[in-house]
Amino acid sequence: MKSLEKVPVRIFANDSDVSVAVAHRIREIILAKQASGRQAVLGLATGHTPVKVYKELIRMHREEGLDFSNVVTFNLDEYWPIEREALQSYYRWMHENLFDSVNIPAENIHIPRGDVSENEIDQHCRAYEEAIAAAGGIDIQLLGIGRSGHVGFNEPGSRKSSKTRRIHLDVVTRRDAASDFFGEENVPEMAITMGVGSILAARELCLLAFGEHKAPIVKRAVEGDISDSVAASYLQEHPNATIFLDEAAAASLTRMSKPWLVGRCKWDDKLKRSAVIWLSQEIQKPILMLTDEDYSENGLYDLIRECKGSYHLNIDVFRYLMKTITGKPTGENDKQKVLVFSPHPDDDVICMGGSIMRMIERGHEVHIAYMVSGCLSVFDHDVERYAEFVREFGEIFGLPQDSEVIDKQVIQFLRSKKPGHVDTLEVQKIKGLIRRKEAVDAAKFCGLSENQTHFLELPFYNTGKVQKLSISNADVKAVLDILNELQPTVIFAAGDMSDPHGTHRLCLEAVLKAFDEYVAGGNAKPELWLYRGAWQEWSPEQIERAVPMAPDELKKKRYAIFRHQSQKDRAMFPGPYDSREFWQRSEDRNKTTAQTYDSLGLPQYYALEAFVRYPLGRSAQWKDELETVKEE
Please tell me the least confidently modeled range out of 128-132, 302-306, 423-427, 545-549.
423-427
Go through 166-186 and write b for each residue having 16 or more CB atoms within 10 A of its CB, e for each that does not: bbebbebbbbbbbbbbbeeee
CB pairs under 8 A, 24+ apart, for 453-458? 453/367, 453/368, 453/370, 454/367, 454/368, 454/369, 454/370, 454/482, 455/345, 455/369, 455/370, 455/373, 456/369, 456/370, 456/371, 456/372, 456/482, 457/372, 457/373, 457/432, 458/371, 458/372, 458/507, 458/510
Helix, strand, coil tally for the chain in percent (to 5):
50, 15, 40
pTM reported for the whole predicted model: 0.84
| Dihedral angle sign, alpha carbons of residues 11, 15, 17, 20 | positive
Q: Is the pLDDT of residue 631 over 50?
A: no
Burial (CB < 10 A; 0-12, 13-18, 19+), residue 439, is: buried
The band of 416, judged by pLDDT with boundaries at 50, 70 and 90, is confident
Strands 365-370, 337-342: pairing is parallel
The candidate with the shortest Cα–Cα distance to 597, out of 342, 399, 317, 227, is: 317
| Dihedral angle sign, alpha carbons of residues 506, 213, 238, 162 | negative
Q: Is the pLDDT of residue 619 over 80?
A: no
Chain-centre distance of CA 90, in angstroms? 21
The domains of the chain are located at: 9-254, 262-324, 337-378+419-626
Q: Is the pLDDT of residue 573 over 60?
A: no
**Inter-residue contact 543 to 554 (CB < 8 Å):** no
**Same fold yes or no, 9-254 and 337-378+419-626:** yes
Please tell me the least confidently modeled range out of 303-312, 539-548, 601-610, 623-632.
623-632
In order, the DSSP letters of 215-267 are HHHHHHHHHS--BTTBGGGGGGG-TTEEEEEETTTTTTSHHHH-GGGTS----
To the nearest whole number, what is the mean pLDDT of the chain?
90
Cross-sheet strand order for the sheet of 109-110? 9-12, 241-246, 205-209, 140-143, 40-44, 71-75, 109-110
Cross-sheet strand order for the sheet of 165-168? 77-80, 190-193, 165-168
Mean per-residue pLDDT, 409-432: 86
Question: For the segment 6-23, what is each residue's pLDDT rounded down to a tens digit?
Answer: 999 999 988 999 999 999
According to DSSP, residue 555 is labeled H
| Dihedral angle sign, alpha carbons of residues 363, 365, 369, 370 | positive
Question: Which of residues 401 and 385 earns the better pLDDT score?
Answer: 385
Catalytic option among 155, 223, 509, 541: 155
Percent of the chain with pLDDT over 90: 74
Is 155 annotated in the active site?
Answer: yes
Question: For the segment 463-515, what is each residue's pLDDT rounded down to a tens digit?
Answer: 766 567 789 999 999 999 999 999 999 999 998 765 555 788 899 999 999 99
Q: Strand pairing partners for 44? A: 75
Phi and psi (nearest 5°) for 48? -70, -30
The candidate with the shortest Cα–Cα distance to 620, out of 510, 494, 517, is: 517
**Inter-residue contact 118 to 189 (CB < 8 Å):** no
Phi and psi (nearest 5°) for 431? -65, -40
Question: For the segment 389-411, what is each residue's pLDDT rounded down to a tens digit?
Answer: 888 888 888 877 766 777 778 88
Strands 607-614, 527-531: pairing is antiparallel
pLDDT of residue 499: 58
**Inter-residue contact 112 to 128 (CB < 8 Å):** yes
**Inter-residue contact 226 to 233 (CB < 8 Å):** yes
Question: For the segment 22-42, what is each residue's pLDDT rounded down to a tens digit?
Answer: 999 999 999 999 999 999 999
Q: Is the pLDDT of residue 575 over 60?
A: no
Residues in the chain, overall count: 632
Q: Is the pLDDT of residue 103 over 80?
A: yes
Cβ neighbours of 266 (radius 10 Å)? 6
Query: What are the distances in angstroms from CA 61 to CA 31, 43, 221, 567?
Result: 12, 18, 34, 43
For the structural domain made of 337-378+419-626, what CATH number should be given?
3.40.50.10320
Mean per-residue pLDDT, 594-619: 86
Question: For the segment 241-258, what is each residue's pLDDT rounded down to a tens digit?
Answer: 999 999 989 999 999 999
Percent of the chain with pLDDT over 70: 93
Q: Is the pLDDT of residue 632 over 60?
A: no
**Inter-residue contact 581 to 565 (CB < 8 Å):** no
**Inter-residue contact 21 to 28 (CB < 8 Å):** no
For the structural domain made of 9-254, what CATH number should be given?
3.40.50.1360
Q: Is the pLDDT of residue 628 over 80?
A: no
